[in-house]
Amino acid sequence: MAYDEELTAMFREALDGIMDVSEKRMMGGICFMMSGNMIGGADRTKDGERRFMFRVGKDNEAEALARPGATILEMGGKRLGGMVFVDEEYCDEAALADWVMLALSFVSTLPPKEPKKKKSAKKKKTA
């Protein structure tokens, strides 16, 4: 997967005004987080396919998959339950806003994650 600047900017704009949203580099691009929990992101495949990714939760998966352009997210042959890809062509501004709201309805139920502590460099003992 590769970073897609235009789709990432669209996702960022759709999240404008939502509290406690941050960005994190992962999965070959930028993912958007709320209280440390992933909401989703955007990418471009090796074939040039542009798509969004949303974390909708397993309870919302059937509803998500019934929407146009949605497919189960698979990475390395492994299905990631509660996560979907949506082709860019199916995500105009209104549809993107609906997808973001579906993802936020799930992510907002999750407890905040504590920030990971940075590993400190071990001091070498000198003799």
pLDDT tens digits for range 2-26: 788 999 999 999 999 998 899 998 8
Q: What is the pLDDT of residue 123?
A: 58
pLDDT tens digits for range 29-76: 789 999 999 999 998 888 889 999 999 999 999 999 999 999 999 888
Q: What is the mean pLDDT of residues 91-116?
A: 92
Q: Could you tell me which residue, 73 or 127, shows the higher pLDDT?
A: 73
Q: Which residues 6+ apart lie within 8 Å of 42 measured at CB?
A: 4, 7, 8, 10, 11, 29, 30, 50, 51, 52, 53, 88
Ordered by where they begin, the domains of the chain are 5-107 (3.90.1150.30)
Q: What does the radius of gyration of the chain's CA atoms come to, in whole angstroms?
A: 17
The DSSP letter of residue 117 is P
Q: Taking the model in full, what pTM does it have?
A: 0.85
